Structure formats: C-alpha cells, structure tokens
C-alpha cells in the first residue's frame, strides 16, 4: 500500500450551498424531531422562548466563528483557534471532548434510523439496518469531500421541506381548514396551565437539550479549510444559516404548541408526527417517520465528518497520534475517519443492549455539555483574537463579528448559565459526571506529557 504523504492538503471541494446544508444537516437531527418532545413536555408552550434563546446563542457563536474562519481558514478550526488564543491544554481537552461526544452520539442516530426502518420492515432487525447505514456513512466519509457535501445537501433538503410542510399543515389545522376542528385560537396554547405551566425558570433548565438540537452548526468552521472560497462562502453561509436556523426551529415550534397540548408530549415518537396524527393525518405521521430517518442519517453523516476533522486537527497539533493526521489521495483524513468509525461501530453494539428513553436523554444532555464547551471556546477565542489585533489589523478584517464585544460575551455567559442549570435538573445532572472528566482528563494528560518533555529537555 502506498504510504500517505503528510504534506497533502485537505481537498477544497465544498461549495457555498454544501456548507449551508452541512450546518443545517448537523443541527436538524433526530434529536430535534424526537428530543423536542422532552423540551415541550417540561416547559410547555414556553419552550418557544427556550428555542428563541438558543437561536440567539447560535447567532453569537456563528458570527464569532465566522470572523475566525475567514481570517484563518485552517484545518481544525476552533481546536486550532483555542490552542492559539486560549491555551494548548484547553484545546486538547475541548478537541478530545468534542470527538468523544460525536462518536457516542452518532451511533445513537444510527440505532434510531435502524429502529425506524424496522418498523417499516419488521423482518429485518434494527441492528442490521444500523449496520447498513453505518457502511453507507463510512463510504461517504472516506470518499472525496464533494460527495459528502452533495449527499448532505439532499438529505438536509428533505428535512427542510418536511418542516415547511408541517408549518403549512399546522396553519391549516389552526384555522380549522383541515383536521375536522374549528378555529383554535389560544385554546390549545393557553390550556393546561397557561403559556408557562411550570414557570419561566424551567426554560433555562431545558436549555442544555436546546443546545444539543442546535449543535452541529460549528461544523462549518471545521469545513472552512475544505471550502473553495472561504472569504466569500463563510460570511454568506453564516448570514443565511442563522436566519434559516431560527426560522426552521422557532416558527415550527410556535405552530406546534398552538395545535398540540404540551402535556401529551414525550420521547416515544416524533412530537411533530404525534401532533398531525391527533388531527387524523395518519399519512403525515408516517411521512415524518421517514423524515426522522433521513434526519438520523444526515446528522450521523455530518457528525462523523465533524469528529474526524476534529481528530485530524488534534493530530496536526501533536495532541493525538501522528498517523491520525495523514491524508489519502483524495485529501481525506482516512485514518482519523477509520478510528472514528471503529468507535461508532462499538457504540452500535453497546446501544443494542439497552435503548431506554433515559439513556437517549442522557446522551442528549452529554452532547449538550460538550457542545457548549466547544461553543464557549469559539467565542472566547474570538474575543482574545480581536483583543490582540492592532487598529490597522482590525480594519483589514474581511469579516467582523457585529456588536463586539457584547455579542461575544453574551455567547459565553449565556452558555455558562445553561451549564449551571444542568446541575439543578435531576435527569440531566448525570451528564456532568461523565462530561467533566471527558474534558479534564485530556487536559491533565497534556500537562503531564508537557512536564515530562520539559524534564527530559532540562536533563
């Protein structure tokens, strides 16, 4: 076998439309279609406020990442930025924590896809469907990056069309045009305890799950090194993706709580499908089961892409074994992809033994914790980056985060507040027991290794 040349560069095969759909594909996963049931069931109609706050946090993170990605479109994105503008040890912890999150979350998406296919074809077990999807995602991620971008474009498009269709059906239900009812008004929205039946404090307590639903938008930063024209693509993508994220989350959620009683929400199936089926639209519920399937595959696809690029960046920064930083002829980090796929496959085997709802919620909470750490690091890095620039250098920036430093500080402190709230939520608190060690252990290992190297040098 031909030895891979470490001097090879990542293939710049991603177009602007690919970047937009990669970001959307990463965030509109089965967690949104299934996990939203948890948020609505906890916060009631006030869950709309949670998604609105989440949208504002996404905007803050995206503009911070956009400024860094345009100024320095490098492989590894926020991991490299964290190393340069915060500290190498923190970058090591964030990078490994981010990678471990995705390689545990991606298998849960594959299993979700397998379960959905098993409901359509009971003769074939969910395990075999999960294996099939795993093979497909492996092939896509080992191929040239433009194939990944094209595949993600169409998968994400299906989800967007489905959400737009839901909005149209929900509006027609609301006005009594379909569903066999009359004009609903606020009869559903303010029933069962009002707009905030559990109080407004619960909005913050559900924010960690909201952050999971939005997680994945940072992947466009990891993809910056593989885009054809970062200075043009990244700002345009951020402007468009921010508007689309907010509209695709907040508007469908607002319509959802106006037609579906919040106290009937759960994690057993898509809350969107349940809402439509409550009005006799069984066919629409079946379609949304298919949409959840595409969401699971798409999110797995984007997640695997993100975690392999994170591992590639760790290897490039000497924070992971050197062989993981090599590229194949197509400019793909083949070894990093193979390792990530291997761990994902191990996860598939483990998850088949227990698919309890509490485990799914736990995985969502863990992803929310580690994702928030990555996002905080992005905002923190951009803050330090801007502070280091001279007035002339700042003037020469091709893209600037607006409302600096207020938007940056909001992105940091709002997410810290969300993480503090996790400690007050019993079913989410356990995520800290694993999430914090996943962050601290790589940092400790990095420091220990650095001290050993320093001792050897001095001797």
Q: Which of the following CATH numbers is that of domain 16-454: 3.10.580.10, 3.40.50.300, 3.20.20.70, 1.20.1740.10? A: 1.20.1740.10
Q: How far apart are CA 354 and CA 122, in angstroms?
A: 19
User: Residues 250-274, buried b or exposed e (16+ Cβ, 10 A)?
Assistant: bbbbbbbbbbbbbeebebebbbbbb
Token duo for residue 20: 């937009």
Report yes or no: 405 and 67 within 8 Å, Cβ to Cβ: no
On the question of pLDDT at 5 being above 60, the answer is no
Comparing 263 with 243, the larger pLDDT belongs to 263
Q: Looking at residues 359-365, what average pLDDT do you find?
A: 63
On the question of pLDDT at 325 being above 70, the answer is yes
Quote the pLDDT of residue 13: 47
174 CB-near residues (< 8 Å, 6+ apart): 183, 184, 255, 258, 259
Give the start-end residues of each E strand in 243-346. Answer: none
Report yes or no: 408 and 383 within 8 Å, Cβ to Cβ: yes
Quote the pLDDT of residue 418: 82
Name the band, by pLDDT with cuts 50, 70 and 90, for residue 99.
confident
Residue 86's H or E segment, with its range, is: none
pLDDT one-digit tens code per residue, 39-51: 888 888 988 888 8
Q: Cβ–Cβ contacts within 10 Å for residue 201, how many? A: 12
The residues pairing with 63 across neighbouring beta strands, listed in sequence order, are none
Closest CA to 381 of 399, 401, 351: 401
Q: Looking at residues 186-213, what average pLDDT do you find?
A: 79
Q: Cβ–Cβ contacts within 10 Å for residue 147, how many? A: 16
Above pLDDT 90, what percent of the chain? 13
Quote the pLDDT of residue 1: 36
Token duo for residue 30: 């089965």
Cα distances (Å, whole numbers) of residue 265 to 82, 275, 291: 39, 9, 19
Name the band, by pLDDT with cuts 50, 70 and 90, for residue 274.
confident
Closest CA to 212 of 369, 376, 439: 369
Report yes or no: 234 and 225 within 8 Å, Cβ to Cβ: no
**Which pTM does this prediction carry?**
0.80
Quote the pLDDT of residue 86: 95
Give the rounded distance of the alpha carbon of 12 from its chain centre. Answer: 22
On the question of pLDDT at 2 being above 60, the answer is no
- Stretch among 58-67, 76-85, 402-411 having the lowest mean pLDDT: 76-85
Comparing 28 with 12, the larger pLDDT belongs to 28
On the question of pLDDT at 15 being above 70, the answer is no
State the Rg of the chain over Cα.
22
Domain boundaries, the chain: 16-454
Name the band, by pLDDT with cuts 50, 70 and 90, for residue 224.
low
Average pLDDT for the chain: 79
Quote the pLDDT of residue 6: 43
Quote the pLDDT of residue 380: 96
On the question of pLDDT at 296 being above 60, the answer is yes
pLDDT one-digit tens code per residue, 144-198: 666 666 777 777 778 788 888 889 999 999 998 888 777 888 888 888 788 888 8
Q: Looking at residues 396-407, what average pLDDT do you find?
A: 90
The residues pairing with 227 across neighbouring beta strands, listed in sequence order, are 14
DSSP letter, residue 229: -
392 CB-near residues (< 8 Å, 6+ apart): none
**How is 397-428 classified by DSSP, letter by letter?**
-SS--TTTTHHHHHHHHHHHHHHHHHTT-HHH
Comparing 124 with 410, the larger pLDDT belongs to 410
């Amino acid at each position: 076998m031909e030895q891979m040349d470490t001097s090879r560069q990542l293939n710049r095969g991603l177009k602007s439309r690919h970047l937009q759909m990669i970001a959307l594909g990463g965030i509109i996963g089965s967690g949104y279609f299934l996990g939203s049931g948890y948020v609505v069931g906890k916060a009631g109609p006030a869950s709309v406020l949670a998604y609105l706050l989440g949208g504002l946090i996404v905007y803050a993170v995206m503009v911070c990442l956009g400024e860094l990605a345009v100024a320095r479109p490098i492989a590894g994105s926020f991991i490299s930025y964290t190393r340069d503008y915060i500290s190498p040890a923190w970058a090591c912890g964030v990078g490994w924590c981010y990678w471990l999150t995705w390689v545990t979350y991606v298998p849960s998406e594959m299993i979700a896809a397998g379960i959905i296919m098993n409901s359509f074809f009971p003769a074939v077990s969910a395990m075999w469907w999960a294996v099939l999807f795993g093979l497909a995602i492996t092939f896509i991620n080992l191929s040239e990056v433009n194939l990944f971008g094209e595949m993600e474009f169409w998968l994400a498009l299906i989800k967007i069309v489905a959400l737009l269709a839901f909005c149209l059906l929900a509006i027609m239900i609301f006005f009594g045009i379909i569903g066999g009812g009359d004009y609903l008004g606020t009869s559903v929205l303010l029933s069962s305890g009002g707009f905030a039946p559990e109080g407004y404090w619960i909005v913050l307590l559900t924010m960690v799950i909201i952050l999971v639903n939005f997680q994945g938008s940072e992947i466009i930063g990891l993809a910056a090194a593989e885009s054809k024209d970062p200075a043009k693509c990244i700002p345009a993508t951020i402007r468009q993706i921010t508007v689309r994220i907010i509209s695709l989350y907040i508007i469908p959620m607002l319509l959802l709580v106006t037609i579906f009683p919040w106290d009937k929400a759960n994690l057993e199936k898509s809350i969107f499908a349940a809402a439509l089926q409550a009005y006799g639209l069984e066919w629409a519920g079946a379609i949304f089961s298919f949409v959840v399937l595409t969401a699971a595959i798409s999110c797995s696809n984007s997640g695997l892409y993100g975690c392999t690029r994170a591992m590639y960046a760790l290897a490039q920064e000497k924070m992971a074994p050197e062989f993981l930083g090599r590229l194949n002829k197509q400019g793909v980090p083949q070894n990093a992809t193979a390792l990530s796929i291997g761990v994902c496959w191990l996860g598939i085997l483990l998850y088949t033994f227990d698919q309890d709802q509490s485990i799914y919620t736990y995985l969502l909470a863990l992803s929310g914790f580690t994702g928030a750490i990555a996002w905080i690091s992005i905002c923190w890095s951009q803050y330090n980056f801007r502070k280091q620039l001279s007035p002339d250098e700042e003037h020469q920036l091709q893209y600037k985060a607006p409302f600096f430093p207020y938007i940056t500080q909001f992105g940091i402190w709002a997410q810290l507040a969300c993480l503090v709230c996790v400690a007050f939520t019993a079913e989410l608190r356990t995520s800290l027991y694993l999430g914090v060690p996943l962050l601290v252990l790589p940092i400790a290992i990095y420091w220990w290794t650095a001290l050993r190297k320093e001792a050897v040098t001095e001797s």
